[in-house]
Amino acid sequence: QTIEQGNFEWSAPSNIALVKYWGKKDNQIPANPSVSFTLNNCKTITKLAFAKKINTGNFSFNLLFEGKPKEDFKPKIHKFLERIEIYLPFLKDYHFTIDTVNTFPHSSGIASSASGMAALAMNMMSLEKALNPEMTEEYFYQKASLLARLGSGSACRSVKGQVVVWGNHKNISGSSDLFGVEFPNAIHDNFKNYQDTILLVDKGEKQVSSTVGHDLMHDHPFAERRFAQAHENLDKLITIFKNGNLEEFIKIVESEALTLHAMMMTSMPYFILIKPNTLEIINAIWKFRNDTKIPVCFTLDAGANVHVLYPNKDKPKVLQFIQDELVGYCQNRQYICDQIGNGAIEI
């Protein structure tokens, strides 16, 4: 089948890891399995227009970000196209216009690589399906996640499902290093509509990219123990997702966040991405949890922002606490209310 021109549009959400991916092998293969909550409100919406052209052996695309040409994202997209070409051999037969917007504020310090690469991968998969219509839905989403992984590792967890595992784990059936899979077992109601309020502590550019950070795990003195720990923590989460034990959930999630940053602080060269206000917030959360017994906890990405995780039923009290005691630690008092979501959607 040949198709002359057309367009697709997909939205894909960001995700927040509970067990962190930090360290990788060649071809974006993770050094350890990870699991994340898919988010709902923080997302990228990408329209892909395509038109058939003569194959001159080069990729051809323009990139629009919030309606304007964006040259500095182009090398990343080019690298992505190079990596996925073996899976989508038609790429050089088309000129693409990639038109993308994020729902979260520009340079808020929220990584858009997961949502952005997932949204682009979904669009590319739609074109693949238009050209080769005979594929199952399972194949479609699996391959979309595989493509997204080649854009940005964590992006493969932004395709489908509320709780997504990426990386082979002996007790999670179907889990793979090549793509993310929806957590296969039933999840306790305590996690239904779980909330994630993202406190924007520092909106500046990261001093150390996650690519460099992953690489520093190669000669890291604690790498092997850390990778084994991720397997163990994922095992514990399997039980926790089943029994809904939030006290145990908090222990794993906060330990994972601090371990991620401990790996950064103990690599060579070492670096620190958290800020004084990150620590102020963590201490305030611990005090609030101790005083109220509300099971609220924090996690961190590769940056200073704090994700505050809590059950839906505690939302009024936790939001009050955030407004009263935490927004003062945020840049321009900014924070984003999000919650667990379902993955990418075609528009």
Query: Could you list the residues that contact ligand PMV (CB under 6 A)?
Result: 17, 20-22, 34, 113, 152-154, 210, 214, 260, 301-302
Strands (E), 88-184: 94-102, 163-166, 180-182
**Which is closer to ligand PMV, CB of 127 or CB of 164?**
164
Nearest approach in angstroms of CB 209 to ligand PMV is: 8
**Which is closer to ligand PMV, CB of 113 or CB of 176?**
113
Return the H-helix or E-strand segment holding 124. Answer: helix 113-131
**Which is closer to ligand PMV, CB of 152 or CB of 278?**
152
What DSSP designation does 55 have?
-
Amino acid in position 150: L
Nearest approach in angstroms of CB 289 to ligand PMV is: 23
**Which is closer to ligand PMV, CB of 91 or CB of 273?**
273
Cα of first residue to Cα of last residue in the chain, in angstroms, is 24
Nearest approach in angstroms of CB 210 to ligand PMV is: 4
**Which is closer to ligand PMV, CB of 125 or CB of 230?**
230
Core vs surface per residue 253-289: b (16+ CB within 10 A) or e: bbebbebbbebbeebeeeeebbbebbebbbebbeebb
Core vs surface per residue 126-140: b (16+ CB within 10 A) or e: bbbbeeeeeeeeeeb
Nearest approach in angstroms of CB 90 to ligand PMV is: 26
Nearest approach in angstroms of CB 10 to ligand PMV is: 19
Q: Which residue has the tokens 């009263």?
A: 324
Nearest approach in angstroms of CB 267 to ligand PMV is: 13
Distance of CA 4 to the CA centre of its chain: 33
**Which is closer to ligand PMV, CB of 215 or CB of 235?**
215
